[in-house]
Chain A
Amino acid sequence: MSDIEDMLSVTEPKVDTERALARLRARVEGERIAPVMRGGAAPHRIGVNIWVRGLAAAATVALVATLLTVSGVAETILTIFEPKQLVAVPITVTDLNGAASFGAYGTLTWTEQPKPYDVPDIRTAARDSGMTVLVPGNLPTGVGTARYGVMNKTTATFTFSADKTQKAAAAQQRTPPPMPANIDGSKLFITGGPAVVAYYDDGTSPAGATGASGASPFAGMPKLIVAQGKPPVVQSDGVTVEQLQSYLLAQPGISPQLAAQIRAIKDPSSTLPVPIPVDMATSKKVTVQGVEGIFVGDSTGLGSAVIWQKDGIVYGVAGTLTEQQVLAVANSLH
């Protein structure tokens, strides 16, 4: 054995490939990571952009699930949760990897499934959603016309299961703290939406084109998205916020930093956390439409988003645009 071989020697690690594959599957499903297919059309690439995805779904139950997954669950689970303000919660790749997906703690049953559908015009979008749909007063150059989609009001019940939690943890070689008896079997009732999303494609290319740059994470993204919706409301059948927070923040994979950020939310019953993947994006507070909002900039400099809540509606504007352009669109909504 050479001296260097000797110096770099380690005990051969024992790996359980199937267990590791199960862990990877859970992560891919939890983060909804889409694979790249040969040919690069990759219509599912939209799922790569966590913040855009979160924003587009801001007023839907999907966002609740995302938030619960990535931010340690506790802050949004309340006897009655009705957000009135937003707060950015920085998350890291380690947090994303570490936090078990919400499905690991129990079973989600839809009572009214989210069924997004296209509508021919803004008038139909407003009628179906029951909301006044705001439109931008001016659009940046290169942005085409809008097409509208509506997400119906959705409701779901989540039932905690100690047994399921145990099995999910075992599959990831983890030992979670035991689920308190009063949480096991308890239910959360989640309501989200309705929501309206307007997509503005690049005015120069056909709608839905993936663009020339197959390698860009923004391939396939519309030039501009304007979304608005009723924020999610969560009710519990008895278990308290404190009990859930204490249990869930003690889970393996929840970093002390993330737990501290969640505990620091002053009024969790009325605060909607917006997860910001710190390795992909930066965020800051901005004033939009006279209220405080969160600006999110993609770290590649290719995209921007802003999200805010006003008069009981969550709004989001995102696109492959600059900060100035996105804020101008947001402030021009009327």
Chain B
Amino acid sequence: MEVADRLRLTTSPGPGMPPSFEALFRKEYARVVAIAHRVVADADEAEDVAQDVFVSFYRKHPADAHYAAPWLYAAAAHNALNVLRSRERRGKRDAVEAIRRDTQTPDPAQAAETAETRSEVRAALARLPDRSAALLVLRYSGLSYEEIAAALGLRQSSIGTLLRRAEDAFRREVTT
């Protein structure tokens, strides 16, 4: 590459977004947001997570990669869990407040109670090992065993067992 070309790259906008990436975005965005939302229980934060996930994919992978969808699902779960953990580190008040914004009910007392419960559940989720938490999130976001196996790089035949273990661990965390 000539020097002028290199310089041009520093001063001109990047190439346009490939149509294949836009198609992928349109197809998977809602599902990626839904996975992140299942974790963070805050629609705005879930959309922020989804944006970061798609940017990461855009930087590193071709849009027509055969693994695009499972990659996006796994990244949505992991990134959202990271957001959840950093929220937990900031303290319970922050965590409840984030969820409160997302709790749609006309009764303020009920909204506060729901937010509190959701926050406790998510604190338990944040304490689980990453793979167990991701398994639960993906499964309860409606992914099939096949999709979960592809997303987390596991054997499909082991998903059932791993899921049951994750559920048991989750229940224990919620009750402690």
Contact = CB atoms under 8 A, between A and B. Distances in A.
Interface stretch (A33-41, A73-81, A179-187, A296-304): A33-41
Contact of B9 (A7, A44, A147): A44
Interface in B6-39: 6-11, 13-15, 17-18, 21-22, 25-26, 29-30, 33-34, 37-38
Contact of A33 (B10, B55, B136): B55
Contacts, number: 153
A97 B3 contact: no
Interface string A10-45: 111111010011011101110011111110000110
Interface in A63-83: none
A34 B17 CA distance: 8
Interface stretch (A46-54, A254-262, A325-333): A46-54
B121 A8 contact: yes
Interface stretch (A113-121, A159-167, A240-248, A263-271): A113-121
Nearest to A117: B4
Interface string B100-119: 00111000000000000010
Contacts of B137: 8
B3 A197 contact: yes
Interface stretch (B61-69, B89-97, B150-158): B61-69
Contact of B174 (A7, A11, A48, A97): A7
A11 B37 CA distance: 9
A10 B102 contact: yes
Contacts of B41: 10
A93 interface: yes
B140 A5 contact: yes
Contact of A17 (B15, B26, B61, B64): B26
Contact of B21 (A5, A20, A35, A44): A35
Given A8-B136, A17-B30, A20-B50, A149 B3 contact: yes
Given A47-B14, A116-B11, A117-B4, A28 B29 contact: no
B47 interface: yes
Contacts of A199: 3, 6
Nearest to B141: A8
25 contacts: A11-B104, A12-B34, A13-B47, A14-B43, A20-B33, A24-B55, A27-B51, A27-B55, A32-B14, A33-B55, A36-B60, A37-B18, A37-B62, A38-B64, A44-B14, A48-B59, A53-B10, A60-B10, A62-B10, A118-B2, A118-B4, A149-B7, A151-B11, A199-B6, A222-B6
